[in-house]
Amino acid sequence: MSTMEVNPIPWTQFRDEFLSLYDPPMRAANTRSNMTYALRLVEALGVQTTADLTAPLIGRLVASRPDGESGHTTFGILGRIRVATRYAWTAGYLKVCPFQLRPLRRWVRVGPPAVGKHHARDEIKRVLALMAHDIMTSEGWVQWRARRLYAVTATVAYLALRRNEALCAHVADLDLIGRIFWVRAHADGNRGKTASSLAPVPIPDALVPILTDWLEHREDRPAGWPLPADNPWLFPTCGRAGRSSPWTGGELGKRPLDRLQALAKRAGVDGMTWQSLRRSWATHAEYHGLGPAMIQRVLRHTTPRTGELWYRTADLPNLRAAVAGINF
């Protein structure tokens, strides 16, 4: 290692070369954006060449982070910079990788993660009941949109899916007879957060009639509105442009999250998101008898610890019900 020839190159040349490895479709657009942000933080410290990627520079970067920033955020930024410095070292642009001198975990202290928001079972039940009521008391295009919101929300709540895993799903991903939802990567939609993300998820019986009803009405439309001959999306858009894309955006107030939060607020539940529904599933799964290994498989986390740290939280109604029968 000490005899390796080192040829530093200008920072801008290195930055462009390294980021070319993150161009889609090799990496997700969001992954590239996060790496670009990390490199900009390095650039702001006055780096001129790859020879400037030293341990003191990393120390200055850590010291420059704003007060109150989560240690997890700083840790994530340094993790991306570590990838870049290792690349520079491997390519012969850098004599010593600063993270060889001092491991990543020693640059920043990472405390326990903040407890994520979850919802009591009664709260989720109220939201789903109100959605079902909206379908029964509406008609036409309003009813179609109510059905779609109900189906999407129930899918996330019962399957613990991530946002894009649900919103960007194809009809072909759904096997109601086999009771399996296949989380797959699609070039025009969900790419999969990790390799373990792309895996089958079991469907509970309560979700089957909701999705069966939705599939019967998925291609309903007002008279005169076009409908693509091949519409793969399980939850498509509904504008006059047809249904050639998944329901992931829209005008302010009409986006999936906007509609979910507006209805949840009507049901007396604040702060409901797709992520909070996923966390809620993880919290309540143990009450229903699922062990850590099964919870990990359904959530499709790489390790059980991820679910324990970020998703499974204490729910007082569950705890009270669990110990109600104890009697000495």
CATH number of the domain located at residue range(s) 121-318 in this protein: 1.10.443.10
For 208-232, b where at least 16 C-beta lie within 10 A, e where not — what string? Answer: eebbeebeeebeeeeeeeeeeeebb
Q: Is the pLDDT of residue 121 over 60?
A: yes
pLDDT tens digits, one per residue of 159-179? 999 999 999 999 999 999 999
Domain 11-106: which CATH class?
mainly alpha
Banded model confidence at residue 307, pLDDT cuts 50, 70, 90: low
The 10 Å Cβ neighbour count of residue 307 is 21
Return mean pLDDT, the chain. 87
| Tokens (6 digits) for 40 | 């900009």
One fold for both 11-106 and 121-318? no
Identify the DSSP state of 194.
S
For residues 167 and 247, what is the distance between their CA atoms, to the nearest angstrom?
6
List, for residues 267-292, the tens digit of each pLDDT value: 999 999 999 999 899 888 888 888 88
The residue ranges of every structural domain in the chain are 11-106, 121-318
Burial class of 55 by CB neighbour count within 10 A (0 to 12, 13 to 18, 19+): middle
pLDDT surpassing 80 at residue 263:
yes
Residue type, 23: D
Side by side, which strands form the sheet with 174-175?
A: 174-175, 180-182, 200-202
